[in-house]
Amino acid sequence: MNLKPLVSIICVSMNHERFLKQSFESVVNQTYQNIEIIYVDNNSTDNSFEIANEIFLKSGVPYKGFKREKNYTIPENLNFLIKHASGKYIAPQSGDDWWDLTNIEEKVKFYESNQQFGLIYCNGYIYNDETKNITTPDTTKYKSGYIFDTILQEGIYYPIGYIIRRDIFDSIGYYDENIMIDDWDIWLRILNHFPIGYFDRPLVYYRRHQHTFYFTANYKQHRIDTIKTLDKYKDHPLYKMAYVKANKHYIYSLANKYQGIEVIKEILRIGKPNWFYLKQIVKVLLKNLKLYKTPD
């Protein structure tokens, strides 16, 4: 009889063909043995499903695999996978990131001793797929507890490697399929009811590449989803402050990424008459004149 709790590793890929060997072999070779894998390919146009399916079938790990016939959003796919999961714990994994082989073992041991947490998150490494550089985030702010106020204003700290107790979804519901910032929204909803725990070990690798964030090509949609998330907490005393911060982040990102009159119009539409927004307009104007280069 296996006394260790079952962990459901829910895996999603979409055109991750060149990353899957590293990503999913790090899943099937975990030192923690009591796992199941539920995988969905989001209608890839490359060989992602075939590559992943072969890796999982050869591993001998209990496995269910699905290939979508049309594209679904990330939260839709996560909810689909959770509904097929049987484990005490849910561990999401994307086809472009990868784990240390002790990742699940160390986190389950920590979680089993800290059942008060609705979610545990960790730190990890950031891998730049273009430069091949590996860096680590600033973890000085990372902490455990009821940190709703901080996450509302700053967003989540490290975007991968978190684990959620399966019964938490019975309490708060599944991922909101109308919001593409699925991780931030679920963290906030959990923090409305439970503390979250910080596990201080870098056991996962977050790969940054040209398709990492859907909003790098669509800042406007990202802002829409940000406001949708924030608007759930309009009665919170920090709502207005968080709203202002979100707008500043949006305008700063636009000004750094793009140039042209449409960007200036958007800044004027969103922004307030203060030094920060004026500075962004000047930045865009200088970029138009080729007198300013956005820092790398």
Predicted TM-score (pTM) of this structure: 0.89
8 A C-beta contact, residue 41 and residue 52: yes
Q: Is the pLDDT of residue 213 over 60?
A: no
Mean pLDDT of the region 56-72? 97
Q: Is the pLDDT of residue 214 over 60?
A: no
Q: pLDDT tens for residues 166-175?
A: 999 999 999 9
Q: In 3D, which of 109, 102, 108 has the Cα closest to residue 30?
A: 102
Beta bridge mates, 197: 120
Q: Is the pLDDT of residue 14 over 80?
A: yes
Q: Is the pLDDT of residue 294 over 60?
A: no
Q: In 3D, which of 1, 33, 8 has the Cα closest to residue 167?
A: 8
Cα dist. 146→143, 186, 187 in Å? 9, 14, 11
Q: In 3D, which of 96, 147, 83 has the Cα closest to residue 121?
A: 147
DSSP character at residue 6: P
* Helix, strand, or coil (residue 63): strand
Q: Which residue is associated with the tokens 């004026």?
A: 278
Q: What is the dihedral of CA 196, 202, 208, 211, to 10 degrees?
A: -50
Q: pLDDT tens for residues 227-244?
A: 999 999 999 999 999 999
Q: What is the pLDDT of residue 270?
A: 83
Q: pLDDT tens for residues 128-184?
A: 888 889 999 999 999 999 999 999 999 999 889 999 999 999 999 999 999 989 999
Domain covering 7-208, topology: Spore Coat Polysaccharide Biosynthesis Protein SpsA; Chain A (3.90.550)
8 A C-beta contact, residue 245 and residue 153: yes
Mean pLDDT of the region 13-24? 94
Q: pLDDT tens for residues 236-287?
A: 999 999 999 998 888 888 888 777 888 888 888 887 778 888 888 888 888 7
More confident position, 290 or 232: 232
Residues carrying CATH 3.90.550.10, the chain: 7-208
Q: pLDDT tens for residues 71-96?
A: 999 999 999 999 999 999 999 999 99
